[in-house]
Amino acid sequence: MRVTAISSVGDEKSQILDALARAVRRSDFVIVSGGLGPTADDITTEVAAEFFALPLVLDEVFLDTIQGSLEKWGLPWIEGYRKLAYVPQGAELIAPTSACGFLLHYDNVPVFFLPGVPAEVRQIAENRVLPTLIDKNVEHIVVRQRLFKLFGPQEAQIGESLDGVARGEPDVTVGFYPNFPENHVSVTVRAKTAAEADRILAKVEAEVERRLGEFVVAKDASSLEESVGGLLIEKGLTVAVAESCTGGLISQLLTSIPGSSNYFDRGMVVYSNRAKMEQLGIPARVLEEHGAVSAPTARLMAQGVRSLAAADIGIASTGIAGPSGGSDEKPVGTVFIAMAGPEGVKVRKYKFSGRRDQITVITAHTALSWLYKYLTDRSFLSGPEAS
Q: Which of residues 61-100 bind its own copies (CB under 8 A)?
A: 73, 75-76, 78-81
- Residue 105: C-alpha distances to residues 102, 135, 138, 166 (Å): 10, 15, 17, 39
CB within 8 A of 382, min separation 6: which ones? 343, 344
Q: How far apart are CA 373 and CA 366, in angstroms?
A: 10
- Residue 180: C-alpha distances to residues 17, 184, 293 (Å): 37, 9, 24
Map residues 340-369 to x or -, x wherever contact with its own copies holds by CB under 8 A. Answer: -------------xxxxxx-x---------
Closest separation between CB of residue 311 and its own copies, Å? 11
Map residues 289-308 to x or -, x wherever contact with its own copies holds by CB under 8 A. Answer: -------------------x
Q: Which of residues 150-179 bind its own copies (CB under 8 A)?
A: 154-160, 163, 173-176, 178
Closest separation between CB of residue 282 and its own copies, Å? 13
Closest separation between CB of residue 312 and its own copies, Å? 14
Among 15, 27, 67, 382, contact with its own copies (rule: CB under 8 A): 15
Q: How far apart are CA 227 and CA 218, in angstroms?
A: 6
In the bound state with its own copies, the residue whose beta carbon lies nearer, of 355 and 378, is 355
Q: How far apart are CA 325 and CA 347, in angstroms?
A: 22
Closest separation between CB of residue 142 and its own copies, Å? 20
> Looking at the DSSP assignment, which residues form a beta bridge with residue 181?
none
In the bound state with its own copies, the residue whose beta carbon lies nearer, of 260 and 366, is 260
Q: Which of residues 181-240 bind its own copies (CB under 8 A)?
A: none
Closest separation between CB of residue 73 and its own copies, Å? 7
Spatial contact of 360 and 321, defined as CB atoms under 8 Å apart? yes
* Of 39-47, 50-58, 208-216, 369-377: span binding its own copies (CB under 8 A): 39-47
- Residue 183: C-alpha distances to residues 62, 72, 177, 178, 369 (Å): 44, 43, 6, 4, 14
In the bound state with its own copies, the residue whose beta carbon lies nearer, of 42 and 205, is 42
Among 1, 17, 93, 117, contact with its own copies (rule: CB under 8 A): 117
Closest separation between CB of residue 286 and its own copies, Å? 18
Spatial contact of 318 and 293, defined as CB atoms under 8 Å apart? yes
Spatial contact of 224 and 342, defined as CB atoms under 8 Å apart? no
